[in-house]
Amino acid sequence: MASGTARRTIRSCSSQLLHAMWCSPTAAWRRGCRLYSPPARHWSRSPARRSRHPWPWRTIQEHPLPEVLPGPQRRACLLLSAPREHTRTEPASPWPGAPDVDLSENQLGAVGAQAICAALAVNPAIKKVQLAGNGLEEQAAQYLAELLLAHTGLKSLDLSYNHLNDEAGETLGPALAENTGLTELNISWNHLRGPGAIAFARGLEANIFLRVLDISYNGFGDSGASAVGEALRTNNVLEELNMSNNRISMVGALSLGLGLRVNQTLRILVVSRNPLRSEGCLGILKSVQDNPMSALELLDFSGFA
């Protein structure tokens, strides 16, 4: 492998190989190699098969944290609370010099989320956080909402593959409305439905920073799609929106189209795997056609019923 700044991307590794690479005394990342992690849905949820995280552990002064936290979660909190020179910097980050934190697939739960969010709140240097697959529910949503309000420097947050439900949506929606900094949010593969989906969409309506939003594989339904359509009428920042597999019918598609009729910033809209029917697809297309200021470049209807 070349030395210096040369980097190589490894795109297909088993969890055993990743574990060996991270834990080896001559770990690949120490030699300038950047690992590519597959999407969370390809990882096993079995604790026995989850790979360890490649944190370069160092001796740091302990911060007061809940004693009930398991060892790996506690060490992660200690690292996040440490001075900046003790954290690993990802060379390929879109925010040069800013460390990224990936704690996916650790089953942190509410207690772990509380500790992690508290540690992140006092570390403004961190720009990207991945908390996918951690069993986060409505109680954890309260800590996440506090993080969104306190950490204005956070740019990217991944909450996919958790158990965030209606109550979580009602908690996160107002926080999203008041957030001043987040530009990318992935909350796919959760349980946002009914009132929670509507409250979350209302938060999007008031947000003026978010540019990329993935709410796919939830249960927004027609009421949630209608709320998103209302948000798109006033939101002039969002550029990419993924609403695939959300049980949106023709009625919801037509309501979504009302927002597309006046929106001027959305470039990518994915509504695949929804029961839109031909009437729903045509309604969305006509809304875009009737909007001379539309910025839409990609519209994905694939897999519609």
**Which sequence spans correspond to the domains of the chain?**
8-38, 87-300
Is 87-300 a domain of CATH 3.40.50.720? no
DSSP 30: G
Distance CA 72, CA 270 (A): 37
Confidence of residue 104 (pLDDT cuts 50, 70, 90): very high
Choose among 162, 132, 156: nearest CA to 53. Answer: 132
Confidence of residue 25 (pLDDT cuts 50, 70, 90): very low
Q: What percent of the chain has pLDDT over 70?
A: 68
DSSP 219: B
Comparing 19 with 73, the larger pLDDT belongs to 73
pLDDT tens digit sequence for 188-244: 999 999 999 999 999 999 999 999 999 999 999 999 999 999 999 999 999 999 999
3-class DSSP assignment, residue 244: coil
Comparing 273 with 303, the larger pLDDT belongs to 273
The single-letter code of the amino acid at 264 is Q
Region 54-80 average pLDDT: 44
Q: Is the pLDDT of residue 77 over 60?
A: no
Phi-psi region of 303 (alpha: psi -120 to 50; beta: other; left: phi over 0): left
Region 162-171 average pLDDT: 97
Helix (H) or strand (E) holding 76: helix 71-81
Confidence of residue 37 (pLDDT cuts 50, 70, 90): very low
Find where tokens 């029961």 sit.
Answer: 275
Task: Retrieve residue 13's tokens.
Answer: 């590794």
Q: Is the pLDDT of residue 51 over 80?
A: no
**How are strands ordered across the β-sheet holding 212-214?**
100-102, 128-130, 156-158, 184-186, 212-214, 240-242, 268-270, 298-300
Choose among 215, 250, 249: nearest CA to 232. Answer: 215
Count of all residues that appear for the chain in the document: 305
Residues in contact with 53: Cβ distance below 8 Å, sequence separation at least 6, in sequence order: 22, 72, 76, 102, 103, 106
In this predicted structure, which of 6-20, 161-175, 227-241 has the lowest mean pLDDT?
6-20
- Confidence (pLDDT) at 303: 85
3-class DSSP assignment, residue 142: helix
Phi and psi angles of residue 128, each rounded to the nearest 5 degrees, phi first = -130, 130
User: 33, 1 in Cβ contact below 8 A?
Assistant: yes
Find where tokens 């800013």 sit.
Answer: 98
Cβ of 68: how many Cβ atoms within 10 Å? 10
Task: Retrieve residue 203's tokens.
Answer: 């938060």
Confidence of residue 99 (pLDDT cuts 50, 70, 90): confident
User: 13, 43 in Cβ contact below 8 A?
Assistant: no
- Confidence (pLDDT) at 124: 87
